[in-house]
Amino acid sequence: MSAKPLIYDLEYDELSQRLTSWGEPAYRTRQIWEGLYHHFWQSPAEFTHLPLKLRQRLEDTLHFSHLKTGTVLHSQDGETTKTLFYLPDGQAVEAVLMRYQRRRTLCISTQAGCAMGCVFCATGQMGFRRHLTSGEIVEQVLYYARQLAHIGEKVTNVVVMGMGEPFHNYDNTMAAIDRLNDPRGYNFGQRRFTISTVGLVPMIRRFAAENRQVNLAVSLHAANDELRQSMLPVNRKYPLGELLDACKDYIRQTNRRITFEWALIHEVNDTPEHARQLARWLTGLLCHVNVIPLNPTQGYAGVATTRERAIAFRDTLIQAGVPCTIRIRRGIDIQAGCGQLAIHADSQQENSKIPSE
């Protein structure tokens, strides 16, 4: 990491201290914060109301961007846009914008790669590269906020479901949410964030204790330990019993609903018996199940369920009193599944080292 910090990594008070130590008046912090988080300016040159000397000092001592835009893909229906970003150390991460009616939902990344190794996930197949800083998480949101502002639109929801396991990078993820939530700046409501976790039990407990307004989603994908640990290695450490206990405690403590996620994989986890197993864990819980047909990846042989099987799975759950919705695969034509672009960026980089045959 370079010695020059990213400006989005700074808390308001940290920026303020910096400016005070340069002899600047207190109102400068507010001016800069507004430039960053209201106007989405991305270089000191845009802060034309600041003295030239100060702009120069900002330029010399802080980075104003860590995200270099790589491939940008638009889905055929034009509703989904996926951007690949390169970080200063060459790592690649992705963020996706999904337009649906009045909603403008962003899906952002918290790590380059992921250590959890879920077998069907493109990011898991890459392995862990590094945590993103809070500023690098914030910058993904501002990138799209800036684009939307040009056409008079705003981000309405942020889902922390891109590359990486947010609860493995807990502090930076929460710091990013807090910074985006800051009423002096972007002022984005906590309720409009959803964090998805693979099920890191101690962090679910910590999250419950902090009693945030942020929504929680938990990736289940299987309702017996044998199957779940064959797909999600983390299940060995935190088996279903412990995970569901933590979820129950979360719901009791916060009175908030949990969304459970389930990628339907043909003949792996998509039978009515799997749905009944799941219902046995969830009946009576304040929750919702989102099922989504698997997005196929290169490193995993499984295929997506069929529409009929997805409907039967959903109906079995609903009959057992567990609310369930089938989600469509957004942007399947642009590989909008997390990690799918970055893995290509990787293989392109690797290929470029191999002499062509």
Question: What's the rounded Cα separation, in Å, for the pair 64 and 135?
Answer: 10
124 sits near ligand SF4 (criterion: CB under 6 A): yes
269 sits near ligand SF4 (criterion: CB under 6 A): no
177 sits near ligand SF4 (criterion: CB under 6 A): no
* Least distance to ligand SF4, CB of residue 55, Å: 39
Q: For residues 168 and 179, which CB has a smaller minimum distance to ligand SAH in the complex?
A: 168
Report the candidate in 191, 192, 174, 71 with the shortest Cα–Cα distance to residue 132. 174
**Known catalytic residue: 114?**
no
Look at residue 261 and give the partner it binds from ligand SAH, ligand SF4, none, a contact being a CB closer than 5 to 8 Å depending on partner kind: ligand SAH
Q: Which one is catalytic: 94, 139, 165, 261?
A: 94
Q: For residues 161 and 334, which CB has a smaller minimum distance to ligand SAH in the complex?
A: 161
What's the CA angle centered on 147, arms 5 and 37, to 5 degrees?
Answer: 45
Q: How many CB atoms lie within 10 A of CB 356?
A: 5
* Least distance to ligand SF4, CB of residue 114, Å: 3
116 sits near ligand SF4 (criterion: CB under 6 A): yes
E strands present in the chain: 68-74, 80-86, 92-100, 103-107, 111-113, 128-131, 157-160, 193-197, 215-219, 258-264, 287-293, 324-326
Q: How many CB atoms lie within 10 A of CB 20?
A: 13
* Least distance to ligand SAH, CB of residue 260, Å: 9
Only one of the segments 22-30, 120-128, 272-280, 297-305 lies at the binding site for ligand SF4 (rule: CB under 6 A); that segment is: 120-128
DSSP string, 258-274: EEEEEEEBTTTT-SHHH
198 sits near ligand SF4 (criterion: CB under 6 A): yes
Q: For residues 137 and 338, which CB has a smaller minimum distance to ligand SF4 in the complex?
A: 338
> Strands 68-74, 80-86: parallel, antiparallel or unpaired by DSSP?
antiparallel
**Known catalytic residue: 59?**
no
Alpha-carbon distances, residue 221 vs 122, 215, 245 (angstroms) = 16, 19, 17
Q: For residues 24 and 94, which CB has a smaller minimum distance to ligand SF4 in the complex?
A: 94
Residue listed under structure tokens 């999904």: 98
121 sits near ligand SF4 (criterion: CB under 6 A): yes
* Least distance to ligand SF4, CB of residue 121, Å: 3
Residue sitting closest to ligand SF4 (CB): 124
**Chain contacts with ligand SAH (rule: CB under 6 A):** 118, 120-121, 161, 165, 196-198, 219, 261, 263, 292, 294-295, 297, 337-338
Strand 157-160: give its sheet, edge to edge.
Answer: 68-74, 80-86, 92-100, 103-107, 157-160, 193-197, 215-219, 258-264, 287-293, 324-326
DSSP string, 91-103: -EEEEEEEEETTE
* 117 φψ region: left (φ > 0), alpha (ψ -120 to 50), beta (else): left
DSSP state of 321: T
Options 92, 114, 292, 310; binder of ligand SF4; rule CB under 6 A = 114
Look at residue 337 and give the partner it binds from ligand SAH, ligand SF4, none, a contact being a CB closer than 5 to 8 Å depending on partner kind: ligand SAH
Look at residue 95 and give the partner it binds from ligand SF4, ligand SAH, none, a contact being a CB closer than 5 to 8 Å depending on partner kind: none
Residues that bind ligand SF4 (CB under 6 A): 114, 116-118, 121, 123-124, 164-165, 198, 219, 338
- Give the active site residues: 94, 338
